[in-house]
Structures are given as structure tokens and as C-alpha cells.
A and B are shown apart, each in its own frame.
Chain A
């Protein structure tokens, strides 16, 4: 059973992002970039499936600029067997990425495609569902538990108010939530080994996919800032203020 894991290169989650002065986007030059944390969880799950003898091969795939090769090397160090980069400098929106992933999936024939539920840069939360739709596959989004059983996979999903379990026919696409697992640390020997693993580079044109953006970003700005308020000495003063000044309680 092959598992395909799409990974995205994003601004590291510890970086405080700054909006560019000209309002065209956020500053990404000279900013630490990392693998999207949700994708890291997806990859960890794939590696665990392989360690459990369920998966035979893990292919990491990324769509984006040349530097995404670094992200793929990290994926190889975590445990992917080989990597594919669909390389382009063009802006990629979720629908285009889903189509590129479809083209890769049709070449690779994976049984499961595991990816993060959303990327922490554009916060779209779309690519997995779009990919599943275009493949005509079942989808299991926001997974906190994944159990492969024969020709089906059971996915426990985090939904508003609790959990839901669905049984999906394989092949299927699964998008993962935070609590699925805790990704392992990358070790130095594995980083060295990752350098020798195969990394194939493809062009979107070669896959026959139109990646033209459908959405234009007109402006990016900082949200209105909240001002720090006042410190109050005790609960009594607080309740008085909430009643008489803010008027939020009776």
C-alpha cells in the first residue's frame, strides 16, 4: 500500500508575521520557513502506518518554489522513501494544488493520501477535500484517529461538539488534525540518509494542469489592534467595572 503525503513549505509557526508596507502580502524574505505543522503530523502518521506493516512506500510531494526541496528533504528525513516536487514560481491556490496532486496521484496510484487539514499561512482548509472530490474518492477530514482495515479505513474526526467516526472505502484522502499524533524529531543520521533518497522534479505543464489563480488578492493589511486596558486590584473592583463601566453583566 502506497501512501502519498503532500507537504507545504510555510512561514515557521514561531515567526511573528509582518504585513508588507505596500500591502501586497506578508514579509517572507529572510524569514524562517518550515514544513506546515499539520503536514508533519500527516507524515508522522504515514511513517507509523509503514512501521506497523500497513504501508509499503511513502511518497512526499510538494508544489511550489525550488526551496520546497528543503521541506521535502525534511520529509525524507522523517521517513518518506522518495519525494516529488512540482516546481513553479507561480502563485498556487488550493484548487490548482489539488489538481497537481491529482496528476501525481494518477501516476503513483496511492491507496491513501494523508495531508494536513490546513496550511498555517493561507488558512484555507480546502486542498484535501478538493483533491478527494477531483479523484472521486471518499474523504476523512480533521482526523484524530486513523485505522486501516482491509479495503476500508476508519477515521475519527474532530467535529463541533465532539467526535465522529466514518468508515471510508479505499483509496481515500485523509486530512489530519493536531491530536492525531506527536511527530518525531528528525535525527542527524536520518538527515544524512535523506540526502541520498530520490527527489524527482516535475513542471506543472508536464502534468497538463492549468494553475491560473481564480482569486486575486487586492490588499493585505494588519488587523485593527486592541488597546491594552487597565489593571484592577481585585475581584470586587472587576465586578463593579463589568457592571457599571463595560455593562456586560447585570
Chain B
């Protein structure tokens, strides 16, 4: 995926600047039940579907200082007053890492995590499905818009993350009580190439 060199209001998912940027389809699949980190989660979700968001679309742009990722996916319209929709851009921290388990102890992954209704985005270090620690020092931004049955979320952070040269996605469907490792995650890394 090419990271377009742009200036302007990239933080806004509706910004005109995004229209010219290459749109990449990303296939998602549920994080395996067996990989879920606690017996409670494995027992409670044994017969429940999760991670059914099959596809997301992503665009990447940078103004030199910050990397912007605009992620779009279809919203599940079923209302849920307890859990919210969420999305992460995923980067390796140690060369690569296993997406299917959202990282592991040896090769944890870094997540730029946005959740509807949460005060701001979080940078999370993930060493398993939902096995995360918060990085309070992160300088991230995020804006999400729900329109015409689709979420558009722009996540942004320091552009040097593009040196990791790869990115992946995860989506949580709040309508189905999804959180932690109960997510749909990219099946493979997407190469990131600065234009």
C-alpha cells in the first residue's frame, strides 16, 4: 500500500484530500477461540459468533510528520448500549509478529486503538488477543464518523512508524459485544511504502 504524500486536513475522514488516495481492501477473520487468553472467555464464547466483519478498506497518507490511516467498514446497525465499535491499526514492534493471535510475548504488536465514545485513542502493546498494556506516552489522534451505514475512522501518529514497513487492521463490532481479543483481524500484513 502506497502512503500518499499530502498536506491538508487529513485528520477528518470526510476531507476531500482523501478522495485521490488509493483504496486497499483488507480481508479480516475472527481471532481464533483457542487463542483467547482466559478460560472464561473461551468457555463463554464457545457458541457465540464474533469477528464476523469480513472486510475493511484502508487508505494511507503522510504529511511527513504524521502518518494518517483512514479505515472504513460496514457498521452493524443492531444497537448495543454497553459495547462500542472499535478499530485498530496494527504495527510490528519486533520485525514482524503473528496477526492471528494479535502478537505474542516475544513479538508483541503495537495497536493504534480507537473506540467510539472513548475520550481519545490509545497506543496498546499487544502480546495476545486482548492481552494489552497501555502506552500513555503515545502521541496519537483519531476521528471517527458513522455515515450511510459505514464507519470511517482516521487514525494518526508519528510518521516514523512507517519505517516498520507494514500495517494490519482489527475491527471490533460493539453490536455483538466484541472487545479485547474478540475481534476480526487482518489475515496478512499489508506492506507500507512511502511515496
- Do A and B actually bind? no
| Chain A residues close to B by CB (< 8 Å) | none
